Structure 1
Amino acid sequence: MKRALSAVVVIAAALLLGACSEKPQTNEHGVRLDAPPWTGTGTQPNTGTAFTASGWQPGDRNSWEQHLKARMQFSQNEYTRIN
């Protein structure tokens, strides 16, 4: 019985110590964005995709920020959606 208990303790200690040696899973160069988010995802400049919100022009930062504010206020705010 003692032998089984000590084996369990040794295995548990090995598992706990093994978790301490895990390497961090980070990008060594940091986060890199190839383009600002308001430039859109189209392959040609100033073109959107089927998922582009109506009224937003790709490449227009002010329009991008206004659409984000409106989306936050009207569709992702539970207090305004309930009323």
Structure 2
Amino acid sequence: MNIRFGTLIIGVSLLASALTLAGCGERPQTLESGARKADQTVAQQPADKSEVVPGWTDGDKASWEQQIRNRSQAQNEYTRSTPAKP
């Protein structure tokens, strides 16, 4: 009976190590065709006017920075909350 227990322990540990090593495999994450994906084409197209905030112009760095400042101030809890009345 002691021999069966030993072989059971060895079998369970071999199975656990095999399952652990099976999770370590990684497939290569390349495109099947080997061609590069062109991400630049969409980013360089002019913005759709229905999705543009008023006051922002396409290609103007200063208006972009102003819109970013406005968005971050809209998320600032100190500017959004009303002061407590005494």
Q: Which has the higher contact order (CA 8 A, sep 6+)?
A: 1
TM bucket, shorter chain: 0.5 to 0.7
> In the TM superposition, what whole-angstrom CA distance separates every residue of 1:20-70 from its partner, at most 9, and x where no partner exists?
22136478x6xx433359x42x3xxxxx22x22122122322211210111
CA distance in 2, matches of 1:12, 1:26: 31
Cα RMSD, aligned residues only: 3.5
TM normalised by structure 1 equals: 0.53
Structure 1: tracts of 5 or more residues without a match = 43-47
Tell me which residue corresponds to 1:9.
13
Tell me which residue corresponds to 1:33.
40
Tell me which residue corresponds to 1:68.
68
What is the letter of the counterpart of residue 14 of structure 1? Answer: A
Structure 2: tracts of 5 or more residues without a match = none
Report the alpha carbon displacement of residue 15 of structure 1 after superposing the two structures with TM: 2.7
Tell me which residue corresponds to 2:58.
58
Query: SS state of the match for residue 26, structure 2?
Result: coil
CA distance in 1, matches of 2:68, 2:24: 41
Instruction: Report which of the two has the higher share of helix.
Output: 2
Tell me which residue corresponds to 1:45.
none
